Structure 1
Amino acid sequence: MKKIDLHIHTIPSSVSDSHFDFDISKLKEYVSTMGIDGIAITNHNVFDKNQYLTIKAMLVDITVFPGIEVDLCNGHILVITDELDIDDFDKRTNMVTSNIHTATDSLDLPTFESIFTDLSKYLLIPHYDKKPHIPKDVILKLGEHITAGEVNSPKKFIYCRKDKNSLVPVYFSDGRFTSAIHDFQPRQTFIEVGDLSVHALKEALKDRQKVALDGSDKNLIDINTGELKISSGLSVVLGRRS
């Protein structure tokens, strides 16, 4: 099992983010503390090639994917590629940036498809049970290119994993790593895959049995920075006396 977080922000968007000061040392601490095998850098409507290469050079022990979070049809979708595609990806993401000028701007599907012309080579993960979500008709139009969807809680992850009619769920941090962060939350996904590549992840994410919230037992949920585990089949009250 590989532990992944494919939704990480390192640059504040001028139109959709509150300002934050990214701290690479805090990202390194997060990866080490949480035992993460792979991440993706996915800033809102922008990809900074030079910053990506700097981060990758600092995190030599894990896989770091180039990515972007695109405003599409008034929802958000992660577009992730392999490092070997970085130069072409840089050109295409620049076109995304040039189309987004205000907080209400969003690409329509034809524009998105005209920018990322060969969708088969990307890992596409829409906001699914998470706001702002990609409309269901857009997911249907993207067809075989979409197999997994991002959710915003362990409860929704478990629900979608059990529902054969839903997309395969993934759960990520959506993190912005600054020096002010002291505690890391267990908002990652374990995936049963041999190597970390876009192709391998796409194949694995076709099977809901290959994703979990815990690396050893698919029915457990990590809490308290992963130090405690609880069962998804129980109601648990945590407090001073417990």
Structure 2
Amino acid sequence: MKIDIHTHTKKIKTGDPETRNISPEKFNEIIRLTDVSILAITNHNHFDMQQYLEISQQVDDICQVWPGIELDINENNKRAHLLVIVNPKLVTEFSQKCSNINNQNANIFSITIKEVVDIFGDLDCLYIAHYMNKTPNLGDEEIALLSSLIPNPKRIIKEAANSISAGIFISHGHNSIHGSDVQNWNEYKELSNSLPDLRLPVDSFEQFCLLLEKMKLQ
């Protein structure tokens, strides 16, 4: 089963392409042409609860859709991106926590790692950090800080730019994965072929987190 932990369904920032916008109906049509069984929606500094529900309902028979957000991090005088992905059972609570972020200008919004944990740390969540050649990235110092602030550092995954880089990170003992970071949904069917395959079937967010505890992702 294929997993995509990094997708965009809306043009949020000025620099985002219009081809990131997708309707629930078109999303349903495209996903049914792929082998993607788990997908996280992670728009820039924004979470749209209504769109999430409409999309997830369209594909609930073939694909788990997990709620998330891609945050601009400002730490140690550097810019980076961090995905926060939450157990879909807690989507209402997650949406409430994102409300203040939604009300700010996504183009200039930024947040510290501690502030991220203060907001989302009491939810059942994963932290996916841009790493190395996946820019703008969190460095080892920033990831160590995040690890120190959450109860289970295994909930941190390093996002690589592609499958080759993820494989290298995994061979060196890192939990790593890559996502599509989709720019154009018209190209998603072909793009999905290179997405990660999970070694074991995963029926839920909770089961995926157990997989993190026991083995490498790919």
| TM-score of the aligned structures, taking structure 1 as reference length | 0.75
Q: Who is 1:40 aligned against?
A: 40
Q: If each structure's helix is expressed as a fraction of its own residues, which one has the higher value? A: 2
Q: Who is 1:22 aligned against?
A: 22
Distance 1:45 1:135, change over 3 A: same
- Alignment of 1:128 onto 2:131: yes
Q: Who is 1:172 aligned against?
A: 179
Alignment map for 1:22-171 (pairs within 5 Å): 22-61=22-61, 62-73=63-74, 74-98=79-103, 100-101=104-105, 103-118=107-122, 121-129=124-132, 130-143=134-147, 144-145=152-153, 146-164=155-173, 167-171=174-178
Q: How many matched pairs?
A: 205
AA in 2 matched with 1:79: V
AA in 2 matched with 1:113: V
CA displacement 1:28-48 (0-9 Å, x = unmatched): 344233211111111111111
Supply the distance in 2 between the matched residues of 1:42 and 1:187 (Cα, whole angstroms).
19
Q: Who is 2:197 aligned against?
A: 190
Supply the distance in 2 between the matched residues of 1:124 and 1:148 (Cα, whole angstroms).
6
Aligned-pair CA distance for 1:25: 4.5
Supply the distance in 1 between the matched residues of 2:128 and 2:188 (Cα, whole angstroms).
28
CA displacement 1:121-167 (0-9 Å, x = unmatched): 10111111300112322211121334321111222122112112xx3
Contiguous gaps of at least 5 residues in structure 2 = none
What's the secondary structure of 2:131's corresponding residue? strand
Contact kept, 8 Å, 1:3 with 1:190, in 2: the verdict is: yes
| TM-score of the aligned structures, taking structure 2 as reference length | 0.82
Supply the distance in 2 between the matched residues of 1:155 and 1:194 (Cα, whole angstroms).
22
RMSD: 2.3
Spell out structure 1 runs of 4+ moving beyond 4 A. none
Distance 1:114 1:16, change over 3 A: farther
